[in-house]
Structure 1
Amino acid sequence: MRQRGFSKDGKHDEDQIVVAMAVDNNGIPFHYKVFEGNTADSKTLVKFLVEMQRIYKTKDTIIVADKGISQNANLRYLEQKGYKYIVQKRIDILGKEDKAFIVNDQGFVQENDYFTKSRLVQSVWAKNKNKKRYSDTFRKQFVYFSPSKQTLDKIKRQNLINKLEKKSINGELPLSALVPEYKKKYMDVDGKTFGRLNIEKIKKVANEDGFYMIETNITNIDSKEANEIYKGQWKVEEGFRTLKSAIEVRPMYVYKDEHIQSHVFLCFLSLIVLKYCIYKLKKFYKDNGEIQKLTINMFIDALKLITITTKTVNGKVVSEIENNLDPEHKELNKIYSDFKYAIDGLSS
């Protein structure tokens, strides 16, 4: 399982694994699968769904996923198996006609703080060089333009360019320091060793700032509904962030495949428990009409500050004493007290 592959953190010289995960509407994970570390995100979807279908016999499911798995082969598979899907498309790999449609000002209408337009396109079942074979089904494409996203895209790109320029020597940058996406987007590649920043490429990418596209085979929904459903994808991203930070799924100090699987299983189980606790506490506040700030880090901090001293007689607990938090941690103390109440209500 330990293989070197694409790393979003730039750790290309270290062994890694790939983990796929599914969560429910409340952000609570219910399934995961471990892949070899050199597996591309786009290659995980089919095997993951086959396993889920075998275990859960899923029906009437809407697959919501980011642009990492929005390749046409995956979408064709979803259509063949009767899945509904809402995915974000990678603008940088679209053809000229699709890009022209996206950046063309015509057809946009304002929706709250963004602008949007849509169109129906035939589902593409096969590509042979420049030839396409279409099916008799249609997909709906929504294009969104957000001024705030445009500003953020510009800042992120400029920060990256500044970082690349600092690493360059006489304008050249070793390609080993770049992920493949940046080689294609910003660089002129000289052989297999060095690259130079290409200003024209950077300008072309800048023209796409603020835009994103969502594609779905649910053709009877509008742009607002499609956007809201897709935004639920952040729950998966938050799950991965929690795995990496609070639960510390990495670094791993095990090497055999079975030990790696066991480590990931324990981390995944911890994530389920943590997410379920957060869900119960938020539901408790909602049911009681209470507004209370609550984050995963706050909940974990509250648990860390609590110590319970127990007295046992003949192996049985006869008394428990909890420490009292000082006034400085009043909010965390309240969160812990509310959590105990919510859980006691569940068990009674």
Structure 2
Amino acid sequence: MYIRRVKTSSGATAVQIAQKRHGKREILEHLGSAHDEVTLASLEQVAREKIQAGQMAFDLDLHTDDTTTAPAKGVDAGGGLVLHGTRPRVLWEVLEQAYERIGFTGAVNDEVLKQLVLARVIEPTSKLDSLRVLAELNVENVPSYATLKRHLARCVPDNWRDLLSSAAYRFAADGGAVSVCLYDVTTLYFEADEEDELRKSGFSKERRIDPQILVGLLVDRHGFPLELHFFEGNKAETRTMIPVLDAFRDRHQVQDMLVVADAGMLSWANIQALEEAGYQYIVGSRNAKAPMDLAKTFATTGNHFADGQVIETTTELKKGTESSRRRAVWQYRLAREHRDRLAREHRDRRNHTLQVQRAEDIAAGRKAQRKARFLTTGQRKSLTVDYEAAKAAEQLFGLKGYVTNTSMKVLSGAEVVAAYHSLFEVEASFRMAKSDLRARPIFHHTRDAIEAHLTIVFCALAVGRHLQTATGMSLRRIIKTLQPLREGLVEINGTIATIPAALTPEAKEILKTLPEKSGH
């Protein structure tokens, strides 16, 4: 590794740490730009310390491209120069401004909470290890672990989650009202062996047997989080939606609310509860309903559909109960590109093949008898595979159904489909929470500690989704671009001065897209 100096278009001198690999130069880190000799010398000293970190101290000089040296840290450089270190201030200010822009500081004025949220965005880790992250970022007033625990203990008594949820809603509403919400549920597991009243084993979306909790997340149509609740690990998913919606509506007094959820939330009991509470809904239907829902369409026009065709019909949500009939919208869709179309067909055909194979295995006695699609009912010796039903199911490839209580005057069939397709945003938010922000596994044991953890994850998710929407870049890319940009802290004749970081072109583009620009 070596120190590289290069002139910028503004006339300044940028200082970089570089290395050569296979004959090609690779820039490892941009340290900043200097407009005078003192600044340049301090930046080079920062570079030397980084290169020499962890190495034995030999009496050798490191040379830059222009063979200029500077005195070591703490040595008078003719101007009383003392180097105090560097910090990635650009990244921290971008995250800090996003946190404040959402309104979290005004909702809960707690510096420790803010530091933990932003540290999780940068490097998700344990609460204790977050203190290391903050120290490496050279953040002022890093708390002790005892202080951290004391502050987080206020989360439940001071009702932080509700206050922060209200701030997130006000930011998302932006003076109006959020009337379309997307809802989904996921599971988060614990590194624990024993269950308790909250952490219980149940159906895991991650196929784990560890104790877990259910987390219900409500987001707007852009994926920005509005509400987060958690439930016992063995609670049925369909029984989580109404409590979350009621809490959201009561807190914000939202009228004419439309909620979108996937087929996992479709049950007659859920539909009745939604209607009794006055909610409008769009819920994914199950493909097994298609033959009954589309029977008249098949009889009159056959099973050929145009790409994007929308069919209006009704569906019976409770067998044999005419009063359970609701509006159903079905759409046949071929992807615009041939590759996507083949991928969809391949998925449908693969699932269809597996279902037929399972029915054949049960009929042949190779698997234990249980309910299976395309398997005729009866005793073990009389079980057969209904190949006619399997063949009839093939005509359903490419069809997707939606159940709603909205009238055609309120939402057309195409608008119902479009609203449901926004549901991928809540799935994207869950993926960010689990991967980028590492909400799992959870090591806490008490309900209050779990709520404090999920409150931090909720705020970090809001900051991440906001930055992604504003910049059009992934959160990982934003951090990867801004984190190497470090400003220097030097003391010159007793006065602390900062050396601004040299912004890369991509960093400048990120800062331009943000609602409030950084002071860089």
TM-score normalised by the chain length of structure 2? 0.49
Deviation at 1:243, TM superposition (A): 0.8
Query: Which piece of structure 1 moves more, 199-208 or 14-23?
Result: 199-208
Partner residue of 2:445 out of 240, 255, 271? 255
1:1-348 alignment to 2 at 5 Å?
A: 1-11=198-208, 13-92=209-288, 94=289, 97-98=292-293, 100=295, 106=301, 113-120=307-314, 131-132=320-321, 134=323, 139-148=326-335, 151-156=342-347, 172=366, 184-185=372-373, 200=387, 206-219=394-407, 220=409, 221-282=411-472, 294-310=473-489, 318-322=497-501, 325=504, 331=506, 333-339=507-513, 342-344=515-517
AA of the residue aligned to 2:347 = K
AA of the residue aligned to 1:321 = P
Deviation at 1:261, TM superposition (A): 2.0
AA of the residue aligned to 1:71 = S
Deviation at 1:204, TM superposition (A): 5.9
SS in 1 for 2:323: strand
Larger radius of gyration: 2
Counterpart position of 1:290: none
2-structure distance, mates of 1:301, 1:61: 39
2-structure distance, mates of 1:50, 1:22: 12
* 2:511–2:517 contact (8 Å) kept in structure 1: no
Counterpart position of 1:287: none
Q: Structure 1's 245 and 73: CA in aligned 2 closer, same or farther, altered over 3 A?
A: same
1-structure distance, mates of 2:405, 2:232: 30
AA of the residue aligned to 1:214 = Y
* 2:348–2:397 contact (8 Å) kept in structure 1: no
1-structure distance, mates of 2:392, 2:283: 24
**Aligned sequence identity (%):** 22
* 1:3–1:37 contact (8 Å) kept in structure 2: yes
Could you give the per-residue CA deviations for residues 277-311 of structure 1, whole angstroms, max 9, x where no partner exists? 223335xxxxxxxxxxx334322332444334445
Deviation at 1:60, TM superposition (A): 1.7
Deviation at 1:62, TM superposition (A): 0.9
Could you say which structure has the greater relative contact order, defined with CA pairs below 8 angstroms and 6 or more residues apart? Answer: 2
1-structure distance, mates of 2:299, 2:497: 73
Deviation at 1:199, TM superposition (A): 8.2
2-structure distance, mates of 1:344, 1:152: 42
Structural RMSD (CA):
4.1
**Which blocks of at least 5 consecutive residues in structure 1 are unaligned?**
190-196, 283-293
Q: Structure 1's 107 and 84: CA in aligned 2 closer, same or farther, altered over 3 A?
A: farther
* 2:282–2:402 contact (8 Å) kept in structure 1: yes
SS in 2 for 1:344: coil
* 2:280–2:404 contact (8 Å) kept in structure 1: yes
Deviation at 1:260, TM superposition (A): 2.1
TM-score normalised by the chain length of structure 1? 0.71
Deviation at 1:87, TM superposition (A): 1.6
SS in 1 for 2:301: coil
Q: Structure 1's 64 and 118: CA in aligned 2 closer, same or farther, altered over 3 A?
A: same
State the aligned residue count. Answer: 303
